[in-house]
Structure 1
């Protein structure tokens, strides 16, 4: 009886322990099975990625789809046993997950990178030392002019304002390049064509360039047509300009600081100069400063000028200025005749105020020309403008160089939004009348810009203009209105 009692007590004590051990084994078994299933899924996904990298692109999508990913057992192929004494094939013991992932990461580091954020693909080598990106733009205008007393100015037409194609890129950390050709105003021309070296200079970033480059001259004059708020630059940017035009073939240096920059450019004639006379020489400089730059406010101050020695074969020391768009060659402010021009000097001032979606800007420029007989004439222009983004975008001002940029659209149309809508107005005046044969004119512009996304813009400008050209109709003043619409895509 004593032995029987001890046996009963022992069995009673072991039952809970056995039950508890059984529960632990069940939980451990379930955990192992879950981990095995997770590893199997990871193996399948990894095999799909490796297969997509090894097969043609047409098969990659099918391999990578979760529905078609097969488990490792189905992917393995039956192989006959290896003869005795012979090494097993290399895939008899497949590498671990860590080794396979490391192999994929190494392959990705060796591949190049493609970035579409600028609208066209920018190709960058794996080590980041080489880059290449195509550039382009298309500006298509429709315009009509009414109200002029001269019937030839009342016209309706379409025009390709600019069709441009080019490329840019970089070599190493410091060297970059840019080349663009343009069809505009019924002419084909090379625009930007230069190489640049960017480096540190006195603790700031500096850029040194050789080639054909856009002037650094005023806020509008230093900005591209695709960035200014109106269909054309203001009268200061168009009229107070060297003989060589907006671009100069030569050398340029710019130093960029925190909210300021200083630039100097030395150049000869336009890149398309025929080459039958010595070039002229233009030395230009510009500086800008943002004395106030907070999250809400930004103030822009600018100063620029140039001195030019005009080439003997210069046919026109000044250019006629389009008032109602480049489509209407009959509607221009004429500079008059000034023979024997040998030098010119210009000076300009800039003042801008930006507050989030609001901006206001004013600019003045003056130029004095002198000919070989010692006669001097003065030219001047000024413009004031303002704008407001109804959709809340910040004003597209780039403090690095004191130039116009393009807005970052908050809700692009291509993503289901309404785009960015900007209202703008400008009043400007150009005066060539110090020359007895020169004209003068004013223009009031109301504009609306609709940015569908960061690369596409639709514009509408309504211009009320007045001009007086002494050599046309005995100096009679003319007045009228022009309506211009533009479709723009620029990358």
Structure 2
């Protein structure tokens, strides 16, 4: 409302008041009174102007405050929200860390303690009785590196010495994996199955007798559907890098499934060029357990130019039941015109879980970890598995009399959890042409062996 408008209204009101007839009496307003009234109106207008100014100032201040609050809100909204943690931690027997960009890291290790005894005929004069050892005590790490690379490194501290186990760098691209470093050759289902997941505390006799071991080299693995193909070129292991050994290995496996039944059929080929006129090979084996140093079959040292091996593998896993069998032929190319000996080893086994819901693990052409359906700590007793095996090793051929071993083995394996294991083994090992004679020169006799293992890994 403008000042001119307010004066007009006031004057009109005053005129009406003065013009209104007063029937009770006549009112006369003097000039002084009119002047006073006008002064009051002027004062009122001035007060109204003042209040309007104060209101405008208050509104301006309020608008400024609103603008400031809005600007602050926009600034707060522009601040990026804190990122969620990019490192994921899971538990796989030990903490497994997965970082941004494809990094991962996991410590790994295993501890196996064996105890038991062997019983050999007394006339052989061989040391037997109680024995025990730390079979394996490994620590290491594994993980992934951005770009498809990976790594694995383990040291074994058992046996009062430090040895490298796996120590390699890998690269994966879809179905193809390339590995460079200290690694397993591609010989035998039993050899490639981790010692954590075997059904007996020691592998089949031929794997140790024929010297299957990790070696330094480069390999490639192709896995697509039911097909697994592996090949590599190798020198020798970390402890024998001064040797001139050069070898090649290849393995082919079919892994079809029918329902929940897993089948395995494979074969392998091995060649090792020794390339040292002074080099020799020796094939021998212990009676089941490793804590004894006695070997009742032994070819002794043989001059050799090279080794050539062929292996066949078969297995099936169906619910609680599994069966496996292998055969392996190892030919030694010796210098000179004499016949080259070919030695043979193999086994057949069957096993069954006595606990409901448990089955033997299998993955990528080898047996894998069994995870009890009802582990201890979750209301169950873990898994209990019973196994029988016939294990044969023949080190007699082409005039070499290294002996024969027929082993009849049984094992009971209890896994309270996926990462703990207790195993009881018994073996009756029948020898023919043993290298140690009993009474009267008899080289055919039986050695008994018992072994108990306590194991944990992460």
1:253 corresponds to which of 220, 245, 252: 220
**Aligned residue number for residue 23 of structure 1:** none
Offset of 1:176 from its aligned partner?
0.2
Q: Does 1:287 align with 2:287?
A: no
Aligned ranges for residues 45-194 of structure 1 at < 5 Å?
103=81, 106-109=82-85, 111-116=86-91, 118-125=92-99, 127-149=100-122, 150-194=124-168
Answer yes or no: is the 8 Å Cα contact 2:204–2:391 preserved in 1: yes
> Does the alignment pair 1:356 with 2:319?
yes
Q: 2-side partners of 1:313 and 1:231: how far apart?
A: 37
**1:113, distance to aligned residue in structure 2 (A):** 1.5
Are the equivalent residues in 2 in contact too, given 1:144–1:157 (CA < 8 A)? yes
| Secondary structure of the corresponding residue to residue 413 of structure 1 | coil
Q: CA deviation at 1:470?
A: 4.9
Q: Which has the larger radius of gyration?
A: 2
Quote the offset at 1:161 in angstroms. 0.4
How many positions carry a matched residue from both structures? 389
Counterpart position of 1:439: 403
> What TM-score do you get using the length of structure 2 for normalisation?
0.78
Using structure 1 for the length normalisation, give the TM-score.
Answer: 0.73
Q: Following the alignment from structure 2 to structure 1, what is the Cα–Cα distance between the partners of residues 403 and 280?
A: 15
The answer to whether the 8 A contact 2:404-2:434 is kept is: no
Structure 2 partner of 1:378 = 342
Instruction: Name the structure with the higher strand share.
Output: 2
For 1:222 and 1:482, the matched residues in 2 are separated by 25
Q: Distance between the aligned counterparts of 2:162 and 2:310, measured in 1?
A: 31
* TM-aligned CA deviation for residue 323 of structure 1: 1.7
Structure-2 change in CA distance of 1:89 and 1:138 (3 Å): farther
User: Matches of residues 391-430 of structure 1 in structure 2 within 5 Å?
Assistant: 391-400=355-364, 402-430=365-393
Could you tell me which residue of structure 2 aligns to residue 310 of structure 1? 274
DSSP 3-state at the match of 1:220:
helix
Q: Could you tell which deviates more after superposition, 307-316 or 261-270?
A: 307-316
Tell me the CA shift for residue 164 of structure 1: 0.5
Q: In structure 1, how many angstroms separate the alpha carbons of the residues matched to 2:252 and 2:271?
A: 16
Relative to structure 1, the CA distance from residue 99 to residue 425 in structure 2 (aligned partners, 3 Å threshold; closer, same or farther) is farther
- Paired residue for 2:262? 298
Aligned-residue Cα RMSD (Å) equals 2.8
Q: Which runs of 5+ in 2 are unaligned?
A: 1-63
1:470–1:413 distance in 2 versus 1, CA, 3 Å:
closer
Q: Is the 8 A contact 2:168 2:179 kept in 1?
A: yes
Structure 1 counterpart of 2:428:
464
